[in-house]
Amino acid sequence: MTYIVALTGGIGSGKTTLSNEFKKIGIDIIDTDIIAKKIIKFDLQILFSIQEKFGKKILNIDNSINRMLLRKYIFNNKNDRLWLENLLYPKIYKETKYQIKNAESNWCLWVVPLLIEKKLEKQAHRILLVDTSVKEQIRRIIKRDKISFLEAKKIIALQTTRKKRISISDDIIVNRKDMKKIHLYIHYFNLFYSYLSNKYHKKKTTDTKKNYLTKFY
Ligand code: ATP
C-alpha cells in the first residue's frame, strides 16, 4: 500500500489550493470532497434518496442536485446533516479505498476535511494540517461562496476547533496570504514525505509517525 498523507483543515483554509499544487508535481490526490460531489451527481440511488428527503425543490432545472441549496439545508439542520453523511459515507469510503489502493505515486495525498469529526486519524500514516485564522477563513468563504458573515460563522462553528486540529497533526502549513511561499512548502513536503515513504516501504522503521513535527509559517 502506498504511504498515505491525510490533508485536513477547516473550511476555506486552503486544502484544494494545496492539493492542486501537489497534483502538479505528480502526487496522486484522493479528495473526499470530489468523490462526494461525483457520487451526488452520478449515483442515481443517492440522487433519488436526496430528492425523496428534500423534495423536488432540491433539484436544478436539469434534475441535478442543487448543491448550494443542499449545503444550506444541512448546515441549518443537524439531523439532515447526519442523515446525508450516513447516506454518503459508505460510498465515499469504498471509493476512497479503491483510489488509495490504485495510487501510483511514491506517497498519496488524501484530502479529508472531516478527518477528526469522523475519527479517521488512524487511517493515515501522517497528518498534514493546512491552518489559517478563523478571520481569514470567514473572509475567504464569504468571497468564494457568496454567503453572509453569519452563515460563514455558523459553518465554522459546526466544525472541529483549530486547537483540536493542531493537536492531532504531524505537520502544519500556515496558509496566510502569500501564495509564493506555498510553492516552497510543496517541494519541501514532497521531499519529506518521499523520504518517509521510502523508509516505510523498506520497513527500516516500524513507526514513521510522530518522529518529526514540521511547522511552516
Ligand atoms: P473547502 O473546505 O470549502 O473545500 P478549502 O480548504 O479547499 O475549502 P480552498 O478552496 O483551497 O479551501 O481556498 C478557499 C478560498 O481561498 C479559495 O477561493 C482560494 O482561492 C482562496 N485561497 C486559498 N489560499 C489562499 C492564499 N494563500 N491567498 C489567497 N487566497 C487563498
CATH topology of domain 1-27+105-217: Rossmann fold (3.40.50)
Instruction: Please give the distance, rounded to the nearest whole angstrom, from the Cα atom of residue 122 to the centre of ligand 1.
Output: 26
For residue range 70-121, list pLDDT tens digits in order: 998 998 899 999 999 999 999 999 999 999 999 999 999 999 999 999 999 9
Boundaries of every domain in the chain: 1-27+105-217, 33-104
User: What spacing in Å lies between the alpha carbon of 132 and ligand 1's midpoint?
Assistant: 10
Q: Is the distance from the beta carbon of residue 13 to the nearest atom of ligand 1 less than 6 Å?
A: yes
pLDDT band at 183 (very low <50, low <70, confident <90, very high): confident
The pLDDT-based confidence of 3 (bands split at 50, 70, 90) is very high
Query: Does 127 have pLDDT greater than 90?
Result: yes
Q: Over range 6-35, report the average pLDDT.
A: 96
Residue 173, burial from CB neighbour count under 10 angstroms (0-12, 13-18, 19+): buried
Specify the DSSP class assigned to residue 58.
G
Q: What is the pLDDT of residue 207?
A: 54
* Ligand 1 neighbour 14 (Cβ under 6 A): yes
pTM over the 0.85 mark: yes
pLDDT at 208 over 60: no
Q: Tell whether the model's pLDDT for residue 213 goes beyond 90.
A: no
Across 111-125, 168-182, 185-199, least confident range: 168-182
* pLDDT cut 90: percent of the chain above it: 82
113 C-beta closer than 6 A to ligand 1: yes
Query: Smallest Cα–Cα separation from 182: which of 29, 34, 32, 25?
Result: 25
Q: CB count, 10 Å around CB of 70?
A: 17
| More confident: 52 or 75 | 52
Question: Which residue bears the cell 479529508?
Answer: 112
Q: Which of 8, 13, 15, 17 to mutate to test the pocket of ligand 1 (most atoms within 8 A of CB)?
A: 17
Q: Which residues are annotated as a binding site?
A: 12-17
pLDDT of residue 206: 53
Summarize pLDDT for 87-97 with one digit per residue, the tens: 999 999 999 99
205 has pLDDT over 70: no
Return the higher-pLDDT residue of 209 and 150.
150
Q: How far is the CA of 206 from the centre of ligand 1 (A)?
A: 35
147 lines ligand 1 (CB under 6 A): no
Tell whether ligand 1 has an atom less than 6 A from the beta carbon of residue 11. Answer: yes
| Residues 169 and 8 sit within 8 Å (Cβ to Cβ) | yes
Beta carbons within 10 angstroms of residue 137's beta carbon: 24
Arithmetic mean of pLDDT, 42-50:
95
Regarding the beta carbon of 125 and ligand 1, being less than 6 Å apart is answered no
Q: What is the mean pLDDT of the chain?
A: 91
Helix (H, G, I), strand (E, B) or coil at 79: helix
16 CB less than 6 Å from ligand 1? Answer: yes
C-alpha distances (whole Å) from 206 to each of 5, 126, 127, 209, 210 are 16, 13, 17, 9, 12
CA-nearest residue for atom 27, ligand 1, is: 177
Sheet holding 171-174, edge to edge: 28-31, 107-111, 3-8, 126-131, 171-174, 214-216
Q: Whose CA is nearest to atom 30 of ligand 1?
A: 177
Contact 212, 205 (CB under 8 A): no
